[in-house]
Structures are given as C-alpha cells and as structure tokens.
Amino acid sequence: MRDIVKDRIAANEAEERKRQLLGRAQEMAAAERFDDAIRILESVQRDFPGSDEVELKLERVRASAAHAKTVAQVLDRAQQLLHQGSTEQAVQFLEDKTLELSDARLFDLLERARHQREQFQSGLQGAVEKGRRVLQTQGASEAARFLAMQPAKYREIPEFRALDEIVANQVAWEALDQELMAKTDPDSQVRLAETALRANPGNEEIKKRLLTVRSRKEQINAIAEKAHGLEVSGHYTEAVKELQILRQLYPQYPALEVEIRRLERLEEQRAMEGARKQLERFQSALQSAIEEGKRILQKHGVTEASRYLDTELTKYRETPEYKAFAEVVAKRAAWEGLDRELAGNSDPDAQIRLAEAAVRDNSGNEEIRKRLAALRDRKDQINAMAKKARDLELSRQYREAATELQHLRELQPRYPEIDSEIERLAKLEEQRRAEDARRQKDLFQAGLRKAIEEATGILQRSGALEAARFLGAQPVQYREIAEFRDLTEAVAKRVASEALDQELARNPDPDAQVRASEAAIHENPANDEIKKRLNAARRRRDRIYEIVEKTRGLEASRQYTEAAKELQQLRQLYPQYPKLEAEIGRLERLEEQRVMEVARREAEQFQVAVRGAAEEGQRILQRQGASEATKFLATQPAMFRETPQFRALAEVVARRVALEALDHRLGGNPDPEAQVRAAEAALRENPEHEEIKKRLAAVRIRQEQVGAIVEKAHALESSRRYGNAAKQLERLRQIYVEYPGLESEIRRLEGLEQELKQPRRKEVAEPPRARADAPVLPPSEKEVGATVIMGRPSVRAARIEASTTGQEVQHGRVPQDELAEVQPKVAASPFPSPKIWLMAAAAIVVLVGGWMVYRMTSSPADISVKVNATPEDSAITIDGVSCAIPCQRLLSPGKHSLAAQHEGFNGITQSIQVKSGASPDFSLSLLPIESSERVVANGTNGNVGGTKPTEQLPSKGRERTSSGGTTVAPAIRTDPSLGKIAVLPDTKKLTETPLTQSPHVTAIPAVAQVVVRNLPATARVKMENGETHSADTSGMVRFTAPLGSHTLDLTAEGYNSKAIPRALVAGENAIDGSMELDPEQQDWARVGNGSDTGALQAFLRKFPASKHADQAKEKLDQLVAANRPPAAPPKPPSSLTDGAMISDTLGQPEHDKNAILTVLKAYEKSYEGQDLQGLQKLWPSMSPKTIQGIADFFKTASSIKLTYIIVDEPRIAGNEATLAFKQETSCVINGKFQKPTVAKVNMKLKKTNPQGSWQIDSIH
C-alpha cells in the first residue's frame, strides 16, 4: 500500500513537472524562442516517452519555428531588395510570399514596399517627363546635365536608361554637328564623323551624318572631276554650272570663285571662237560647193554644172562667188560650143574663121579669144614644127624631130603622112641612141671606176673625212650605182665611227662614253661599228661598275688582294679613275696588315687547335681509354704531330695503349710464368715504360710468391704439418685459383691432418728456429703496394727488390709473420761503414754549396720545370694555361699557380715557388672523389707549397717515415662552409684542432683570375650572371670568376659580337679577345664622311636594314640636291582638279622599296639560321619539292653563310615587284668547308596588304 502511495505521489509530481515544462515551452514559443522551446519539449519527450500531447506540441513548435525562420528569410530578402532599390522585385517577391505565408509582418512590409514603389515610379516618371521636356526645349546638353543629377537607381530602369541613351546619342551628334559646322572640309568632316562613330558605334544619327558627309565628299569629288572633264572637253558652261553646284555644297572650296570666273571667261572666248568658226565653216562650205561645181564642170561638162547651180547652190545665189561661178559656166558653155564646131573641122584655116565668128558673137569671152589666138598660134606652130622637124632630121636629131612631129600630130592629127614619118624618124633615133648609149656607157663606167679607186685611196691615206669630201664632189649619177652607194655609206659610217672614237678618246668617263655612243647610234641607227662601240662602252661601263662593286664587297670581306687585283683590272680599263693608284696602294697596305693579322691568328688558332686537340685527347684518354684516344689522335691533321705538345701526348697514349694491352693479356692468362713472359715481352717493346716495369715487378713477385708458397707447402707436408700446408695452399688459391689440382691437393692435406689429430691434441707452437728456416715468401697480391722493405733483403727478397727498384709495391703489405722471417736475414746483411757515409755527405755538401753560390751570383733565367700527376693522364695547368702531358715548361723564378684535374678525382690547386739554379720536378697525386683527403706527393728535386717530399699515409693514419727520412705530406680537405681549399699540416691534428682555428691552415681561394687581352678600346665583357667589365686603354680586362665552365660575351661598337666558352681553373686564365670589325661599320666609316653618291648608294644596296640607313639616305639626298641644276618654277594648275586632287600615296615607292629590302634581309637571316619555318613565312607559295630540298640541305649542312649584292633597284609595278641580286652561298658539310657557289637570282615579290607588307612569290 505504501508503495502504491509513493508511486501515485511520484506520478503526480512528474505530471506537475511536465505541466510546468510544457507551460514554459509554450511561453518560449510565444516569445519566438523556438530553439529553447524545442529543447524543453524534447527533454519532456525523453522523460515521458509515450505522451501524445508532448509530441503534438513538439510538432507544432517545430512547424512554428520553421514558419518563423521562413518569414525571417523572406523579410531579409525583401529588405535587401528594397535596400538595393529594386522595389518592383521586392513587391512581387512579397506578394508571392505573403499569400503563401500569411504573416502580418509580411503584410506591413508589402504595404511599405508598395508605397515606396509608387513613390519611386512617381519620381522616375517625373524625372523622365522633365528630361524629355528639357530635351525638347533646352537641348540635349541640358537634358544630359539634368539626367546626371538624378538618383543612380533610376538608371537601372529601362525607360530612364532609354531616355539617357537618347540624350547621349543626341549630345554626340549635336557635338558632331557643331564640329562639322566648324570644319567644312569634306575630309575633315569624314574623319570627325568616323571618330564620333567609333566613340558611339550604335548612334544612328551619327551613322546618317557619316553617310551624309561621305556622300558630300564623294559628290564634291565627283563634281570636281566632272568639272575637270567638262573643261577638258571644252564645255565651259556646263563646267561652270557644276562648280556653282559645288559652291552650294562647299562654298569654302579653295579658289572656287576664281575658277568659276576663269571658266566663264573661257566660255566667252569659246562663244566668240564658235561664231568665227561658224563663219569659217560657211565660207568653207561655199568654197567646197564652188570647188565641187568646178569639179563637175571639169569632169561632166557645162550641162551638169548648170544643173548643179540650179539645185545645190541656190542658197548661195547672193554671194559673189556664186555669181562669178555662174558667169564662168556661161562662158564655158560658149567656148565649149566653139570647141564642138572646131572638133568637126580639122582645117586650121576653117577653124580660124569659126573662131573669129565666135569672137564677134561673144566679144567678152576671153576663152574664145584665147582659142582664136590659139588657133592662129597653132597654125603658125604647125608650120614651124614642120620646118623644125626637117631641120632636126638634117642635123641627125631624130628623136627631137620625131617629138616635133608628134606635137604636130597632136596639133594636126590629119597632117599628111605624119605617122609614117614619125615611125621613120623613130627608127633612125633608135639606131643613133644605141650607138650613143654604148659610147656613153663606156665613158661613165671609166669615170665611175676612177672615182671609186681615188676615193678608196683617199680613205686609206687621208681618212674617212677626206674620202667623204671627195665623194661629195662627184657627179650625182654615180650615187645611183650600187657600188658607189655602198662605198659612200661605208665612208659615212667610217666618218661617224671615227668621230665617235675621237669623242671616246677625249673623254674616258664610262658614263660619258655611253651617252656619246648612244647619241651617235641615234644619229646613225644602222652603223654596226657604232653599235659595236656602244656595246663595248656599255660593257666597259658595266665592267667598271662591277669591278668597283666587287672591290667594295671584297674590301668589306677583307679580301684586299682580290680587291687590289680588281682595281688593277680597273686601271687597265679606266686609268683615269679618281684616286685609283692611292686606292690600290691603300688596299695593298691593308692586305699586308691582313696577312700579318691572319698569320698571327692562324698561329694562335693553330696553337689553340693543338691545345684543344691535346686537351680533348686527354679527356678521351681519361674517359674512354687509350684505344679511343689513339683513334682520335689518328684523325687529327698531320701538322699537329710535329708539335712537341702533341708528340708528348701521343707518347703518353702509346704507353697507355701498351699498358692496357699488357693488362688485357695478363687478365686473359693467370699463369704466373706466362704473365712474366708477357710482361717481359711488353717491356722489351717499351723499355722506358715505368708502368710496364711495375707490372713486370708485380707478376714476378706473384711468380716468386706462388713458388715460395708451393715450396713452403711441400716443406710443411714433409714435416707432417698438413694443416699449415693446407693453409699455405689456401693462400695460393687466393693468389692463383687456377693452379692445377689445387682443390684436390687441399682436400688431401686436410684429410691427412684429420688422421693426425688426437682426441685431446695440444697446440704445437712452431719453434722460432723453424720459422727462421722457413722460406721467405713475398707479400700476397692483395697486400702488395703499401709496404717498402728497408735495408738489404735476403737473397729472394733481393731479387724482388732488384726487379722493383725505386717502385712501390702496389697491392698491400707483407704479412707480419713473413716479415718476421725476413728480418733476421736483413739484420745479418752488412752495411757500409759510417765513415764512408760521412765522407760522401761532406762531398755532397761542398758540391751543393758551390752550386748555390754560382746560382746566387749568376743572373736569374727561366727554369725548366716538370710536373708529374697521378693519374698520369690528368689535366695540368700552370698559371691558368693548359700544359700537355708530359708537362714541362720554362718558368720565371718566383711564385706560380699549379693545378691538376681528372674525371673521378678531386682536383688540386697549389702555389709553388720556383727558385733559380734548379730544374725541379713537381708531383701531384689526386685521390678519388670518394675520399675526403688528398695527399700531395713530391718528387726528389722540388716541393709543392713549401712542404717536404712525402709518401702516402699509412692505412691507420699514424705518421710514417720513408727510407729517405721524409715525413707525411699535408692532407687537403675541402670545406663547403668556407668555400676554400684548406691545406692541413698533419692529418692526425685534423681531429684535434678545428679547421677554422688551426694556425697551420693555408686558405687558397676557389676562384680564377681572368685576363682578356687584345680587346678594342670600347669592348665590354659580360658573364652569364650579368656581371660586365669594360676594357682599359691597353685593351685588357682583369677580373675574378668562380671555377668551372663559363661563356664570355664580348661586344664592342663597330665590331662583331663574340662568345668565348672557357673552363676556368685556379690561377690566371689568359684569353685572347681579338674581335673582327663589323663590315657594315667599316663601310660606313669609309663612306659616311665622304661625298661620293655612288659609294652611298652601294652602301644602301649592301646594307638596306643598316642602323645608318636613314643617315645615308639623308646625306645622299643632300648630295643629289646640291648637284641638281636649279629647278624651274612650278607650273600653276591648269584646272581645278589639277590643284585640288593630291594623291595620298606620296612616298609609297620608297616605302615599298625599303619593305622589299627588309624581306631580302629576313630571307638572308632565315637561310643562315637554317630556319625553314621563317623561310616559309617569307615565301608562302614555296612548292613542297623546294621545301623538301631546303630541309635536306639544312640537315646535312652547317655554318651556312649567304651574302648578296643587289644588281639593280627593285622594280615595282603595282602590287608586284622584281629584285635581281647576286647570291653567294658557302657552308660546311660533314666537317668540310664547301666551295662557295655564286648565282644570279631573280626574286619576284607580291604585296599582301595596302600597308606595304611584301612576301616572296618565286625565286629563279
């Protein structure tokens, strides 16, 4: 019962707490604290999991929260739109959301938005309307200012924006109108309109104005052209009307009123001229009509002439000419009637009577009177003719008598027997004429032959001029004879050619001779001799020009001998050429200087080539071996082999080849005896080869060692020490694994040793006496090379030492147990007594002292220094200059820089002191890169860096002393932090003293001293890092640079740039900086200060893209203007269009010419640079076959050089041009310089655009 009560109490408390929480959640939801309300309801739901009321309220609160959140988002979005000024969008948005969400706040905000929209629209509409009123009343400028003062948000409204655009467009075209009114020139107006249209591309009014001004310009030009055409055709009135139309369009047209008045005066003159011409035409027509009437009268008679007067000439009846012609026709009718009567009666007396009667009828007719007189005369004439004919016949003048009878027949055809009489006289005349002709012909031929012979003689004796005078004095009949005519023409030609010869001899100038010859051929076009002289003069002129151009080209290319030869040929052609002898002398002096310079450069290049070949041989020897080095040396020129440096390298390579061959043979046959024989044979072939001696000593030691091991093994086996014998054979296996039956012998001895072993055996120590009696074995092959046995060895050791005198054992140390066996015998060997040693030392001291005194008192001289490096094919440099192997050089006493490098080894650089009176040998030993230490091993007569002669450090690093009492050399270590090479006095102290604190450290900078000599005064030397140095007055540059490979760029004004790759080493690096003069700068220095127009033109043809081109053109223009005769005053334009229409292409030919020459320069650059794509850009129409040919040529050739000489100026015809030039091409193919090829090239080009860009169309 108590539990039930407790449960009820607990349930009531839970219900009360639930009610409180629900009320609290309700309050929070009412306060729109939905998140807190949701948390409370969720906690209640967890406490009361099955309550539907809680779940219902939780869902309601969550829905209210989502609704409130949505409303808040809508309010924020609407406020944002209103803040941005988008009231219309805000209203639409709120209307949609208000209907959807039905929230009071949304309704309030919607009302405010609508009110704001109404205000905005009202203000916008007022602004738009006022803007339109301002635009209509005050203009676009005021409207634009008004719109600019309106709120910025109005501009987002299309209506306002449209008005703004209208105003802006109107402002633009109003401004354009003002500018067009200010400038009436059509071209200016078009430019202004085009500029305005570019600034306002969518302005239709500006487009209309642009079309208008363009149309106005075209109309003005058309009117001007039409006026000019009308003026040319003589229509002055129409031309004046056109200009009056032009005055309406363009009143400010230059000289328009003057032109109109001039045309009006021309029209008045034309009218007067027209009246005069009309009168002349009437007179001409009348005269023509009268002439036609006269022709009809003469041809058709009086009847037709009368009919013509009555029909065609009625309009001319009042003219005096008509009346005179009518009177003539009437008179003609009268005497024609008389003529008809006379024709019917041939009796002279009867005819006279008829004529007298006609005279009486027509007293004023002169023709009838004439006929009467003629008849009377005819009668007298007939009688006289008959009498004369009889007289002539008596005097044998039959032809004249016959002629008289013929005249008589004409007068009196019916004269009795006149025809038979004429025939008789004709026959008599033929007989006489035949006889006279025969006689006259003989006389004519004789005179002609005599004249020709005399003329020929005069021509030969006195010349063509006297012969011409003689021929001119001969009878005219002779000139009809072909022979005489031919002689006359030949003499005339001879006279002309002799006159031309005199003129040519008087004036040797080629241009003057050509002009004289052309004038002579113009006067005598058929004279072959003059043609020959003209061709000869032209060839001489062309040859002279060709020689001059070729000489300039040869001089520019420094071929002074060929240039002098050309001028000598010019001297033969034109001895009077200005300053010819001085020019030849100058070229000969330049040639002498060039030959000396070339000889010097060839010597330097030869030395550089030899040094480069030697260095390359050394690198090949280091990297690829002696065989490749031998092949390389065999390919070098034979002249290299005469140099000591090359011979020394060849000897080193030969020794290396012999050594490698021996190593190959030794590696191929492990038998000791065969190896010894091979080494001895190699030594016989190369008796001075130290390395072969070392190999021979090593194989002999190995042979001795193998024999000793075998003997010792036999001795141990004989003493039943099978284990030790097996160990000896195991040692033998390490030395000579191919020894016959070695493995079976070792197994046999091991089996015997096993048989001798007892269960509890003790170690039996070998007695010392046995060890002493044991044979002395040489060191194993692995240990030979690091130990030198002091003192006199035993018999076997003595043989070993005899074969390796002065050499180090190469492969390791003698084992201590074997050394102990050898030492007793060494100790027993006798030494020379100390007294002998003291005497020898005293003698040496005396000799050395005397020698030193002599050297100190004598003058210092260059010392022969020899440097040996290990490896022996290392690259050695002394004072920065490479030294071929074996390195031996004369050095002055004092300090010098010594360096050695080898691939795979750390390089070494050291300063050495060369003293007078000695010929020291220096040795440098390089250690592999894996080792961090370097040991400098000195020779017997010199030292490096002041240290004592040294040997290599022992393997454990402790100091050792050689047989000569020398100490270990200092080690060399590179410290990256210092950037220098440190020389430490003692390897052992390296671990005790820091590098930077060691008092014995000598720091050698890891930089190179660079000295560039033979530079021009204005030269500059630039490194890859941009560091630049200028040459001093002596043409030298000094600076320091890091060690390694560098490229020095040399530039100087007036010289060709030069790039010098060089591997810089420590010490001084001497570099030859000689630079070649720039041909362009040379030519400009020659012609720039002169006054030779031909030289300037040749310079521009040769260097069209030169930086001096503008200066040369300006100077050429000045010279041409100075030499040009005064020009006549300019002729005023004859018409309006002559002065008004000026071409806008003035200067275009010169621009095109420069553009064409630029294309030629680019063609040369692309060809030399082997740039096929660049050529295709210049020559787009290049055929595939040509492209393939050029590509193949570029693949096989290198160092292509193309030079050209322009033969003639570019010939430009519209958009096409032709350029002729001579082209010389040289190249290197397969390492061989090819003979230059010269060809005459015709290049055709086409213009690609109006701006003047040109491309190659074809090349022939």
Q: Which residue has the tokens 């630049």?
A: 1028
Separation CA 868–CA 883 (nearest Å): 11
The pLDDT score that the predictor gives to residue 773 is: 42
pLDDT at 681: 92
DSSP assignment string, 308-343: HHHHTSGGGTTSHHHHHHHHHHHHHHHHHHHHHHHH
Q: How confident is the model at residue 861, as a pLDDT?
A: 55
Q: Give ∠ CA 967-969-971 in degrees, rounded to 5.
A: 140
Relative to beta strand 863-870, strand 887-891 is: antiparallel
The CATH fold assigned to 1146-1260 is Nuclear Transport Factor 2; Chain: A, (3.10.450)
The span from the CA of 335 to the CA of 347, in Å, is 18
Q: Is the pTM of this model over 0.75?
A: no
* Predicted local distance difference test score (pLDDT) of residue 946: 38
Residue boundaries of the structural domains of the chain: 669-831, 836-955+966-989+997-1072, 1146-1260
**pLDDT tens across 223-232, in order?**
989 998 988 8
Tokens describing residue 989: 């102290």
In sequence order, which residues have a C-beta less than 8 Å from that of residue 467 and are 6 or more positions away?
A: 455, 456, 458, 459, 491, 494
Of 634, 643, 635, 632, give the one whose Cα is nearest residue 608: 643
Q: Token pair of 822, please?
A: 């050898």
Q: What is the pLDDT of residues 304-347, one digit of tens each?
A: 888 787 777 767 777 887 778 877 887 778 777 888 888 777 77
Write a three-state SS string for 433-457.
Answer: HHHHHHHHHHHHHHHHHHHHHHHHH
> pLDDT (tens digit, 9 = 90+) per residue, 1183-1208?
888 998 898 888 888 778 888 788 77
What is the distance between the alpha carbons of residues 893 and 688, in angstroms, rounded to a whole number? 31
* Geometric angle at alpha carbon 763, from 759 and 768, rounded to 5°: 155
Residue 939 has a pLDDT of 36
Cα dist. 125→122, 132, 660, 807, 1098 in Å? 5, 10, 107, 116, 79
Positive/negative CA dihedral, 408, 410, 414, 417: positive
Per-residue pLDDT tens digits for 238-253: 898 888 888 888 888 8
d(C-alpha 1227, C-alpha 1198), whole Å: 6
Q: How far apart are CA 416 and CA 414, in angstroms?
A: 6
Tokens representing 295 are: 């022709």
Find how far residue 916's CA is from the centre of its chain.
58
Alpha-carbon distances of 154 from 94, 121, 164, 299, rounded to whole Å: 22, 9, 10, 105
Both tokens assigned to 825: 């015998």
Residue range 393-439, pLDDT digits in tens = 888 888 888 888 888 888 777 777 888 888 888 888 888 888 888 88
What parts of the chain have a pLDDT lower than 70?
A: 1, 314, 758-843, 845-862, 917-918, 929-1006, 1120-1149, 1231-1233, 1250-1252
335 touches 301 (CB < 8 A): no
Q: Which helix (H) or strand (E) holds 923?
A: strand 921-925
Token pair belonging to 881: 């200059």
Helix (H) or strand (E) holding 864: strand 863-870
Domain made up of 836-955+966-989+997-1072: CATH architecture = Sandwich (2.60)
Handedness of CA 168, 173, 174, 178 (dihedral sign): positive
How far apart are alpha carbons 470 and 389 in whole angstroms? Answer: 43
